Structure 1
Amino acid sequence: MRRGHRRGHPPRPRSGHPSGHRPGHPSGRRSGRRLGRPFGWLWAAYGTSALGTWLAFGAFELIAVRVLDAGPAEVAALAAVGAAVGAAVAVPLGPWVEFRRKRPVLIATDLVRCAALLTIPATFAAGVLTFLQLLLVSVVVAAADITFRAASGAYLKTLLPAEDLLVANARLESTAWTTTIVGPPLGGAAIGLLGPVVTVAADAVSYLLSALGIRATGGHEPPPIPRKAERIRARDLLEGWRYILADATLRPLFFNTALFNGLVMAAQPLLAVLMLGRLGFTPWQYGLAFAAPSIGGLLGSRLAPSLVTRFGRHRVLVASGVLRALWPVGLAFLGPGGAGLLLVMGVELGLIFCCGIFNPVQATCRLERTPADRVARTLSAWAVTTKASTALLTAVWGVLGTLLGPRAAIGLAGALLLATPLLLPRRRAAALPAAPEPAADPV
């Protein structure tokens, strides 16, 4: 699915703790708490499309290379340009989504992605598949991903009470890591037996099933907040960024996320070059090095609600944010053989475990502090910036890898990541009250 269904809602509890809950107070955040049938359908929809996404992981690149005889430059363009242009296209969609019911938007974006992906097996069967079509489909899917992510956060905010927010986010995060563990091996086997075009078709079907699951959540969504102006104005396009930058907690989290994600992802291609090239690891060893440690994300996301209940949200957010930044620098010391493989798996396990804790807590904080009339624009701005920064830093690290060598560039990314905890919110900022919810106009 490549998105997170996030949520937050009513007035913040009157508690002196920055999270709105006292450490040691359960506040209804038991991990086994039932969240209701609508959330169950939404959760199932998320898991279905997330599994489809991982089944088709790398399929576009394989189609470009094996079917269309694309070179390295074209494959790189497929990954970078599709995401960048998709992010640009999604910018005006944030304000558009904000003032519409979110459930129909979610269903529509799922169906758009399904239809776009199905054009690939259709044109392949007809013998008219082109690289331009792959590029256009990647743009459509990227834009729809961002739009879905923005709408899903606002929609989830209407489904659950505030005290269930962290538990819901933790369940979705654990599902994401579970599909990360299961999907790539199954997808790799399917590609080997049936080819990458078939896995793209499976991904398309997963979006159709996701749309059906979201439809099954029911039609009780409250009406959106009316828009004051008839047309989208230029300032509406920037409202998400304006709100993030004005909030003392969201601002550092925003920069922390963009920089951390960008640096981690920028080092991945160089790590692939180092492992599969100079160090002589086989493709299955490379896949194992990243698939197996995903169990850490599952464990971390399951622990997140209990840790917040015991220690408080701010402490858990900062501690996990600091710890996740310490691991990647270890990849600069990667060597050949079994010891090198264990090093990568150990580093990735620690990194992913900390991210599994950090991500749902951060998502909870983000939605709690965003009023209902800005959720879609805020989440859209967040996703657009994250994708753009990742594309930019990946390009920069590609140049650095050529100039300095892969190992030195990986080490530089790890060293810079050690500074990212400085961008985490301070306790004083995190203790500030969230923006008040706007009064809903009578229907």
Structure 2
Amino acid sequence: MTRMHLSPRLGLLRDPDFGRLFAATALGQLGDRIIFLSLPLVAILALHADEFQVGLLTAMTTAGSLLVGLPAGAWVDRMRKRSVMISTDLARALVLGTIPVAWWAGLLTIWWLYAVALVHGVLTVFFDIAYVSYLPHLVGRGHLVEGNSKLAAIRSVTSISGPAMAGPLVGWAGAPATLLVSSAGMAMSGVLAIGIRSRERKPESGPKPGERPRLGRDIKEGVRFALGHPVLRATILGDAIFNLSLVMYQTMLLVFLARKLNLDSSGIGLVLSGMGCGALLGALTATALSRRVGQGAVIWLASLVTCPLTVLMPLARPGWSLYAAALGLSCLSLGGVVRVVAQSSLQQTLTPDRLLGRMNATARFVSWGGIPLGGLLGGASGSAFGATATLWIGAAGMTLSVLPSYLSPLRTRFQNGRVRA
């Protein structure tokens, strides 16, 4: 896709279509962040769910990746990505809107919440795969780092503002009614996406006339490409190790802050907000760092520099060491966003258009597949060895996640984001 000359300051934001996608992302992500806090509170406050029911509700929200993760990529590659984004946004808005309606009608049950969480999670899988697969068409492959960086920035802003908005809203209107704000955000995101004028050509990956569709063949082709490419395989494997270790770490982080450091909810909130601020700073600097360091090198360097800082938390005690540990978590978020922006852009660049959906689906399936296992391992490790030891284990795992990328051709084939012949 050829771009006109853009303002150095605004860059892609001067492009009307990218501006609409940017605004849609802001509204959709704001709604998503409110869901993150409000949906469990509906179960806890409105339905008086016990701990197991709340845990099961959380599992339902992520089950979509395992249920439809791989076939979703094959289906998305047969459709126009923009159309998938619009339809899933509007469908998610409708599904979420059933919760306050059912609550006011006296019909809301924990099983209703389970169903909404599962359906919403499945729709989100389709949306996310289409979203990252559509960006190369919209901005052109030469602007992928800038595009991913700007979208990551707005996601970071909503990760800070979303929970801050959700808390007072829940207190004022109640958790079920707060989900109306999430539903409205999703709906407005879909409406803004309708206004994007850039149209894709009809995908060529679907079955030819008279040919029987073969979903299994399409899935296998995507998995073979993603895991057969040495750079893609390395980044996907590194993500899987990082995510599993991060979830182990996060599982015991709140326990450590509350019971070992005796922080109240406000103090814990400040620590977590600091992580959001680090993510925002990472998004704002990702493009410049990729250009200065090199798109391939920054992927493994960002993790190598920031992941070891997570050991400051199990070393922390009330006082200055806690501030240092909180700063370490902010650096982790900063490095994570820088890595993801560069990595996503590289993955999109290396993948042919017809395989974008399947590559992204394979990456998501593998890298997110360990998240439920990480939660179980974190809980088991915390019970067996304690929260402090589990934080050490998680920090070590996150640091070791750099090895697949470091040992791959990323160190030799990519300089300043270009593939060496």
TM-score by length of 1: 0.87
Q: Does 1:32 align with 2:14?
A: no
What corresponds to 2:358 in structure 1?
Answer: 377
Q: Which has the higher contact order (CA 8 A, sep 6+)?
A: 1
What corresponds to 1:22 in structure 2?
Answer: none
Preserved contact between residue 169 and residue 178 of structure 2 (Cα < 8 Å):
yes
Counterpart secondary structure, 1:217:
coil
What one-letter code is carried by the residue in structure 2 that aligns with 1:33? G
What one-letter code is carried by the residue in structure 2 that aligns with 1:277? R
For 1:289 and 1:95, the matched residues in 2 are separated by 40
1:284 to 263, 266, 270: 266
What one-letter code is carried by the residue in structure 1 that aligns with 2:21? L
What is the deviation of 1:50? 0.8
For 2:387 and 2:52, the matched residues in 1 are separated by 18
What one-letter code is carried by the residue in structure 2 that aligns with 1:378? M
Unpaired stretches in structure 2, ≥5 consecutive residues: none
1:405 to 386, 389, 398: 386
What one-letter code is carried by the residue in structure 2 that aligns with 1:258? A
Preserved contact between residue 234 and residue 408 of structure 2 (Cα < 8 Å):
no
For 2:206 and 2:349, the matched residues in 1 are separated by 22
What is the deviation of 1:166? 0.8
Preserved contact between residue 31 and residue 305 of structure 1 (Cα < 8 Å):
no
Counterpart secondary structure, 2:409:
helix
**Which 4+ stretches in 1 moved above 6 angstroms?**
none
For 2:297 and 2:128, the matched residues in 1 are separated by 27
Q: Give deviations 1:176-198, integer Å, cap 9, x for gaps.
A: 11111222111112112222112
What corresponds to 1:192 in structure 2?
Answer: 171
What is the deviation of 1:393? 1.1
What is the deviation of 1:38? 0.8
Alignment of 1:125-140 (within 5 A): 125-140=104-119
What corresponds to 1:170 in structure 2?
Answer: 149
What corresponds to 1:296 in structure 2?
Answer: 278
What corresponds to 2:48 in structure 1?
Answer: 69
What is the deviation of 1:46? 0.4
Residues 1:386 and 1:122: Cα distance change in structure 2 (over 3 Å):
farther
Residues 1:357 and 1:411: Cα distance change in structure 2 (over 3 Å):
same
Q: Give deviations 1:212-260, integer Å, cap 9, x for gaps.
A: 1110112522221242443233232333322111111010100111111
What is the deviation of 1:148? 0.8
Deviates more, 1:201-210 or 1:318-327: 318-327
What corresponds to 1:353 in structure 2?
Answer: 334
Residues 1:34 and 1:77: Cα distance change in structure 2 (over 3 Å):
closer
What corresponds to 1:21 in structure 2?
Answer: none
What corresponds to 2:136 in structure 1?
Answer: 157
Q: Give deviations 1:282-334, integer Å, cap 9, x for gaps.
A: 11111111113322222222222122222321222221121232122222123
Alignment of 1:236-255 (within 5 A): 236-255=218-237
2:195 to 207, 216, 222: 216
What one-letter code is carried by the residue in structure 2 that aligns with 1:179? T
What one-letter code is carried by the residue in structure 2 that aligns with 1:96? W
What one-letter code is carried by the residue in structure 2 that aligns with 1:91? L
| Number of residue equivalences | 410
Preserved contact between residue 240 and residue 381 of structure 1 (Cα < 8 Å):
yes
Q: Give deviations 1:389-414, integer Å, cap 9, x for gaps.
A: 11111111111111111111111111
Residues 1:124 and 1:341: Cα distance change in structure 2 (over 3 Å):
farther
2:86 to 99, 107, 112: 107
Residues 1:266 and 1:31: Cα distance change in structure 2 (over 3 Å):
farther
Counterpart secondary structure, 2:76:
helix
For 1:39 and 1:307, the matched residues in 2 are separated by 22
Residues 1:29 and 1:414: Cα distance change in structure 2 (over 3 Å):
farther
For 2:176 and 2:409, the matched residues in 1 are separated by 52
What corresponds to 1:331 in structure 2?
Answer: 313
What one-letter code is carried by the residue in structure 2 that aligns with 1:398? G
What corresponds to 1:96 in structure 2?
Answer: 75
Preserved contact between residue 169 and residue 363 of structure 1 (Cα < 8 Å):
yes
What corresponds to 1:365 in structure 2?
Answer: 346
For 1:310 and 1:404, the matched residues in 2 are separated by 42
Preserved contact between residue 241 and residue 397 of structure 2 (Cα < 8 Å):
no
